[in-house]
Amino acid sequence: MRAAIAGASGYAGGELLRLLLGHPSFEIGALTAGSSAGTRLGEHQPHLPALADRVIQDTTAEALAGHDVVFLALPHGQSAAIAAQLGEGTVVVDCGADFRLESAEDWTHFYGGTHAGTWPYGLPELPGQREVLREARRIAVPGCYPTSVTLALFPAFAAGLVEPDVVVVAASGTSGAGRAPKSHLLGSEVIGSVSAYGVGGVHRHTPEMEQNLAKVAGGPVRVSFTPTLAPMSRGILATCTAPAAPGLTAAALREAYETAVKDEPFLHLLPEGTWPATAMTAGANTAVLQVALDERAGRVVAVAAIDNLTKGTAGGAVQSVNLALGLPEELGLPLNGLAP
Amino acid sequence: MRAAIAGASGYAGGELLRLLLGHPSFEIGALTAGSSAGTRLGEHQPHLPALADRVIQDTTAEALAGHDVVFLALPHGQSAAIAAQLGEGTVVVDCGADFRLESAEDWTHFYGGTHAGTWPYGLPELPGQREVLREARRIAVPGCYPTSVTLALFPAFAAGLVEPDVVVVAASGTSGAGRAPKSHLLGSEVIGSVSAYGVGGVHRHTPEMEQNLAKVAGGPVRVSFTPTLAPMSRGILATCTAPAAPGLTAAALREAYETAVKDEPFLHLLPEGTWPATAMTAGANTAVLQVALDERAGRVVAVAAIDNLTKGTAGGAVQSVNLALGLPEELGLPLNGLAP
Amino acid sequence: MRAAIAGASGYAGGELLRLLLGHPSFEIGALTAGSSAGTRLGEHQPHLPALADRVIQDTTAEALAGHDVVFLALPHGQSAAIAAQLGEGTVVVDCGADFRLESAEDWTHFYGGTHAGTWPYGLPELPGQREVLREARRIAVPGCYPTSVTLALFPAFAAGLVEPDVVVVAASGTSGAGRAPKSHLLGSEVIGSVSAYGVGGVHRHTPEMEQNLAKVAGGPVRVSFTPTLAPMSRGILATCTAPAAPGLTAAALREAYETAVKDEPFLHLLPEGTWPATAMTAGANTAVLQVALDERAGRVVAVAAIDNLTKGTAGGAVQSVNLALGLPEELGLPLNGLAP
Amino acid sequence: MRAAIAGASGYAGGELLRLLLGHPSFEIGALTAGSSAGTRLGEHQPHLPALADRVIQDTTAEALAGHDVVFLALPHGQSAAIAAQLGEGTVVVDCGADFRLESAEDWTHFYGGTHAGTWPYGLPELPGQREVLREARRIAVPGCYPTSVTLALFPAFAAGLVEPDVVVVAASGTSGAGRAPKSHLLGSEVIGSVSAYGVGGVHRHTPEMEQNLAKVAGGPVRVSFTPTLAPMSRGILATCTAPAAPGLTAAALREAYETAVKDEPFLHLLPEGTWPATAMTAGANTAVLQVALDERAGRVVAVAAIDNLTKGTAGGAVQSVNLALGLPEELGLPLNGLAP
């Protein structure tokens, strides 16, 4: 199968290429981008010598036509126009936010402008979603933060073990902010520093978390979400807490998580007492989980670590595409990470 | 005045020395340590060439006698025995945990063993505490996490703007874990990684946070506290949330914080929309604060950044000592940080 | 084929396991270690969930017997005794230094004690060495620094373009120093700092560099080598200079490097004007090279970047084993890195 | 005395302000910048709460007039025009390159365009230069790399212990590249990576190093200089080697360095066997030195660590200004660093 990547010079594009180079079912077709069109890929992704001499084309429907799969790793708002020009038989995967939300109202509140629509949501671990993805020809890849938070909390909500009043504080590596040069993302600024941003309910990933958890909970869920930027290139550590349901025991909580991850190829529940670190997941499509009951504070604390570019973006995208194409879900996706 | 430092070869000891070298009222007297006794300070603190040739003595009451101030930067549990041998006129400052908690029950639950007692708590910003410290001859320096959390939330509790059900997630640099070599603190392990630890209500700083906030709130406060380790040497970023009191407005919240910091020399409330970063505080005794009302989630989110070794340990200690000795509170303490 | 790993809880052991998990011809057999024996691998290599529950055995000849390949990732001096007890048909690969040097005098001078012997040197890119490795049943994996320096300079020496008076300054990530906890390797010490060590001709990798380059040059080569420690987990950047041969032109120099790398699967010469960065090679078995003629100073400057744990240790080991077993040299080895 | 800073929103400007805030003889006057004019300093230098509300003016001669000292921290090429409009009695300090080189030919070769002239060179440690600076009203602050290299090698050249054929490889933190946003300086790019740049005799600091060392050596000196970028915000580690003069002994080498640093307030020669780390110098005006004789390779290896923004720029500038104004040379300058 041939795969095209729009946005090949960015971080998500580079990670898609890294994964597809190791995937036995894909041949890499067109590579396109905006301002990088006309240059060689090696200038932008020097860690991929296998593709160093490939020339990047302009992102147009013509360049992307004729592929089995088209991955769109474009700035928000640019996917709809391109997708409309691609054949219905093509699997089109949007790594941006355009088609994630179901609520047009939430879209307008958080992103502004008009909602482009809703595509099947590319998180196979969400109960029932694997079956949806097997039939999908359009896939909305989840945001990196919502991936981590949903995976951390869905077992608790699915089993009715927590109240729907969630507090999340997550640390992300800098690659989540993309490759466009900005002063506050300079190495000099981020090295040696952890900072908060998008505080107070304004981060765009908030309604996506609420949408996911509400489906599992069977009712509305409130999320207080604070993202922070940490001095590392990759990784998200999401610390998620919610009030424990009355009478919850640590054993019941553990059992719910063990059950939830049992058949999941990319969820790894750590042994009791060991807590996730983002370094456990670098380059892997794995989410590493742990959970505890804080009886003193009356809260469940669930922590997830993922690689924001792999499970949080490109790996999650390939996992969903595997399902859509009838391939084994794990095919070509690293379970193991790169450490130290 | 002459100051002695017990634990001079560790990180807290080094920071105390850095600050005292820049303090106009202190002469540096005895430097003591455990296994480093007999070596030169330059081997351990090569960033302090002014003291490179000073020889470290064994930590004994004899070595520490005859000073106006004795700073104890020792492992937990070692301060009480030394302190008992020092004259009552000497100002003795414990940078460890031994004398922070008022509840012997909490002490035994979180630290084990017998509670050594309670000393005046060295956080001048806590309402009423400045006056206590002016009379103190024994001072318990607060824990680094409790310092950050208390400073982030005391204005909201003092003004009755939040409910006493707090969730804190804080990121700390590695120096907070001390200088003893441990595998999980190796550069190879911490670089490129954020990890959670001490999750689920087990971290020893939890009761100290509750103790401080309860005093301000005038009633019990529950704290769900999750610490995380970030790939930086210094700094704490504490994200603290609590349910907003009914009818709270953003303007009232802002005003409460402006009032609370107005006369505080080391609290810096950022302009609206700007959020704390630990790099703003490196080497400074300043706590940088910001607060927001998340109306969607019904919560107040307060964030504090401090340098864990300065305001969080050694700087806070010197600030309290300044008060105890009748010196200007700001004397010798850097307000400005080292950045980038 | 079944592979055993002695030293499975260390960094080199972990990287061997990561690579072997992705290698189509190997099944992972015994995992052994010293003080970690009896524990599960997941405690030490949490980034490898595929092997989380495997129990580590004691490093004994019995545990290692019955495998097609045995990788020894042990402290210096421990390999000879184990290797002597393994069958001659077994491919035994020493990732330590014991069998790298040909000169017993150099061994004693730099390592002390008695020289254990010399095994075929596992650097296939060294002229003529690929053929030697095809027949080998014992393989000495090169040191990480010598790998980088030899790959940077062999094209220049092979073509007679430089004088045998080399200056090397190399920066290494902290994983090169291993996993044993030491104060100077704590995150607090290495983050934010580059430091020199082993300066003045005392680093043990110096005679190994001289041995390799002398073979290519056809005569003795002097190397002034200064290693430095950089705040990253992985990677070596080796900057290597030597006086240019009389009359050397930039074009002739470039051509020599293009010729030397042309058929090498893991050597990647960057386009002119682009210089190596260690991030280009994370997790890859690739060495990224660049070279320039400094006419003003009369010197050739060659720079190589490698991942010290992959091409510099475990990847290089697997590459040599592939040759020894008659497998395709590239099999199971990542050409592309993980970035950013 | 009143000091104005042009370029107050950049990294050099911020460091000048940090130092001047701690200097007893200076009052901070006009703060000017280019595109940041009209904004508050707190937006750019949030680590300096003491100046948070100061408004930045446009960089004009009018704004800078009426000060005792004017520090110019401007992009290359902009200082001459401003300086020409400032009174001759004003001490004008150029932190840029415009007036460092004596050779107009070198200037044109390395920087292009016309040479603006030569000002007294602000490196008091250079033999004879302290006296020059005492009379200066115009000061050219040395480049950060030349500062480190000159301080590392001048004792050896002054004593005639090395041949004039120098190889330097230096690692710098990212702040040396300034604050303008560029893709290759993003945190995502620099974290976890060491990279070479400006290789092969093209870096603009090369002729400045040669100029300095030639003065000490009394004859021409060739320098092969390779800069590298390391994942840290601050610091330079310069590894400098040159062929040892015939018959040189380690004792004679050590003695030459001890003599050279004896009366220098900001040069700190480490005890034998200990090597510089940039963390020893963070925020300090100190250069930390060590030297060794590599008898096997026939070379002297001298290593210097400095903070590129302090001793390498702003601290060096203030040190020279202290001399020019007849103040004690050490006044207001930190000898001790911030570590860990």
Chains A, C: CB contacts within 8 A come to 92
Whether the CB of C206 is below 8 Å from some CB of chain D: the reply is: yes
C335, C36 contact by CB (below 8 A): no
D282 contacts on C by Cβ (under 8 Å): 192
Whether the CB of C188 is below 8 Å from some CB of chain B: the reply is: yes
Minimum CA–CA partner of B172 in chain C? C188
**Ordered strands of the C195-196 beta sheet:** C195-196, C222-229, C165-172, C236-243, C299-306, C287-294, C267-269
| One-letter amino acid for residue C145 of the chain | Y
Residue-wise pLDDT for C20-46, tens only, equals: 999 999 999 999 999 999 999 999 999
Whether the CB of A167 is below 8 Å from some CB of chain B: the reply is: yes
CA distance B28 to A65: 75
pLDDT computed for residue A76 by the predictor: 85
Active-site residue, selected from the candidate residues C91, C97, C144, C321: C144
Map tokens 């004859």 to a residue.
D219
Residue-wise pLDDT for C258-317, tens only, equals: 999 999 999 999 999 999 999 999 999 999 999 999 999 999 999 999 999 999 999 999
pLDDT computed for residue B327 by the predictor: 98
Beta strand ranges found along D206-333 (DSSP E): 222-229, 236-243, 267-269, 287-294, 299-306
Q: Is the peptide bond before B328 cis (omega within 30 degrees of 0)?
A: no
Q: Using CB atoms within 10 A of its CB, is residue B214 exposed (0-12), middle (13-18) or buried (19+)?
A: middle
CA B77 vs CA A152, B97, B118, B137: distances in Å: 37, 8, 13, 19
C297 contacts on D by Cβ (under 8 Å): 201, 222-225
pLDDT computed for residue A74 by the predictor: 93
pLDDT computed for residue C76 by the predictor: 85
- Measured in degrees and rounded to the nearest 5, phi and psi for residue D168 equal -125, 130
Bridge-partner residues for D310, per DSSP?
none
Q: Name the residues of B annotated as catalytic.
A: 144
DSSP state of C77: T
Q: Do the chains contact at B286 and D49, CB–CB below 8 Å?
A: yes
CA distance B11 to B45: 9
D174 contacts on B by Cβ (under 8 Å): 340
Q: Percent of chain C, pLDDT > 90?
A: 98
Instruction: Check whether C59 has a pLDDT greater than 90.
Output: yes
Active-site residue, selected from the candidate residues D73, D144, D260, D306: D144
Residue B336, min C-alpha distance to chain D (Å): 5
Closest CA to C42 of A239, A252, A259, A290: A290
Mean pLDDT of chain C: 97
User: What are B164's two structure tokens?
Assistant: 């006493």
CA distance C14 to C233: 14
A180 contacts on D by Cβ (under 8 Å): 183
Q: Percent of chain C, pLDDT > 70?
A: 100
User: What are C28's two structure tokens?
Assistant: 């992972």
Map tokens 């603009």 to a residue.
D204
CA distance D146 to D210: 9
Question: Which ranges in chain C belong to alpha helices (H)?
Answer: 11-21, 61-64, 79-84, 104-111, 129-134, 144-158, 187-190, 206-217, 250-261, 315-324
Q: Which of C49, C279, C340 sits opposite A11 (nearest CB)?
A: C340
Q: Average pLDDT for residues C319-333, to the nearest whole number?
A: 98
Q: What tens-digit pLDDT sequence spans chain A (340 residues)?
A: 999 999 999 999 999 999 999 999 999 999 999 999 999 999 999 999 999 999 999 999 999 999 999 999 998 889 999 999 999 999 999 999 999 999 999 999 999 999 999 999 999 999 999 999 999 999 999 999 999 999 999 999 999 999 999 999 999 999 999 999 999 999 999 999 999 999 999 999 999 999 999 999 999 999 999 999 999 999 999 999 999 999 999 999 999 999 999 999 999 999 999 999 999 999 999 999 999 999 999 999 999 999 999 999 999 999 999 999 999 999 999 999 999 9
CA distance D336 to B21: 8
A256, A158 contact by CB (below 8 A): yes
Minimum CA–CA partner of B11 in chain C? C188
Residue ranges of B 255-294 with Cβ closer than 8 A to chain A: 275-279, 282, 290, 292-294
Q: How far, rounded to the nearest angstrom, does the alpha carbon of residue B84 sit from its chain's CA centroid? A: 23
Closest CA to C228 of D236, D174, D152, D339: D236
Residue A42, min C-alpha distance to chain C (Å): 9
Length of chain A: 340
H-run or E-run covering D166: strand D165-172
Q: Average pLDDT for residues D249-269, to the nearest whole number?
A: 98
A234 contacts on C by Cβ (under 8 Å): 340
Residue-wise pLDDT for B1-33, tens only, equals: 999 999 999 999 999 999 999 999 999 999 999
CA distance C4 to C24: 16
Given pLDDT bands bounded at 50, 70 and 90, which one contains residue C157? very high
For an interface test with C, give the residue of A47, A51, A313 to mutate (most C CBs within 10 A): A47
Q: Do the chains contact at B174 and C188, CB–CB below 8 Å?
A: yes
Q: How many CB atoms lie within 10 A of CB A37?
A: 17
User: What are D197's two structure tokens?
Assistant: 């740049």
Whether the CB of A336 is below 8 Å from some CB of chain C: the reply is: yes
Chains touching chain C, criterion 3+ CB pairs below 8 Å? A, B, D
pLDDT beneath 50: ranges in chain B: none
Chains touching chain B, criterion 3+ CB pairs below 8 Å? A, C, D
User: What are A186's two structure tokens?
Assistant: 């300079």
pLDDT computed for residue C77 by the predictor: 87
Whole-prediction pTM: 0.98
Chains touching chain D, criterion 3+ CB pairs below 8 Å? A, B, C
Q: Do the chains contact at B235 and A194, CB–CB below 8 Å?
A: yes
CA distance D318 to D315: 5
Whether the CB of B332 is below 8 Å from some CB of chain A: the reply is: no
B/e letters for D58-81, b = 16+ CB within 10 Å, e = fewer, are ebeeebbeebbbbbbbbeeebbbe
Q: Do the chains contact at A275 and B199, CB–CB below 8 Å?
A: yes
Q: Which of A194, A241, A290 sits opposite B171 (nearest CB)?
A: A194
Residue A189, min C-alpha distance to chain C (Å): 13
For an interface test with B, give the residue of C44, C186, C307 to mutate (most B CBs within 10 A): C186
| One-letter amino acid for residue D55 of the chain | V
DSSP state of B314: I
Whether the CB of A185 is below 8 Å from some CB of chain B: the reply is: no
Q: Do the chains contact at A335 and C46, CB–CB below 8 Å?
A: no
D28, D3 contact by CB (below 8 A): yes
H-run or E-run covering C238: strand C236-243
CA distance A167 to A179: 29
Residue ranges of D 46-75 with Cβ closer than 8 A to chain B: 46-50, 52
Closest CA to A32 of A120, A66, A116, A24: A66
Minimum CA–CA partner of C184 in chain B? B181
Q: Is the peptide bond before D340 cis (omega within 30 degrees of 0)?
A: yes
DSSP letters along C241-262, please? Answer: EEEBPTT--HHHHHHHHHHHHT
Q: Which of D18, D49, D50 sits opposite B338 (nearest CB)?
A: D18
Whether the CB of D306 is below 8 Å from some CB of chain C: the reply is: no
Pairwise pLDDT comparison (D269 vs B113), residue with the higher score: D269
Q: Do the chains contact at B282 and A192, CB–CB below 8 Å?
A: yes
Whether the CB of B232 is below 8 Å from some CB of chain C: the reply is: yes
Q: How far, rounded to the nearest angstrom, does the alpha carbon of residue B120 sit from its chain's CA centroid? A: 14
Q: Do the chains contact at D193 and C235, CB–CB below 8 Å?
A: yes
Q: What angle do CA A157, A158, A164 make, to 5 degrees?
A: 20
Q: How many CB atoms lie within 10 A of CB D246?
A: 7
Sign of the torsion angle spanned by Cα atoms B109, B115, B117, B120: negative
Sign of the torsion angle spanned by Cα atoms B108, B113, B114, B115: negative
Q: Which of C194, C201, C279 sits opposite D235 (nearest CB)?
A: C194
Q: Name the residues of A annotated as catalytic.
A: 144
A254, A236 contact by CB (below 8 A): no
Whether the CB of C147 is below 8 Å from some CB of chain B: the reply is: no
Q: How far, rounded to the nearest angstrom, does the alpha carbon of residue B259 sit from its chain's CA centroid? A: 23
D307, D147 contact by CB (below 8 A): no
Q: Do the chains contact at B278 and A192, CB–CB below 8 Å?
A: yes
Residue C43, min C-alpha distance to chain A (Å): 9
Chains A, D: CB contacts within 8 A come to 68
Whether the CB of A189 is below 8 Å from some CB of chain D: the reply is: yes
D230 contacts on B by Cβ (under 8 Å): none
Strands B69-72 and B91-94: parallel
User: What are C206's two structure tokens?
Assistant: 């110096």
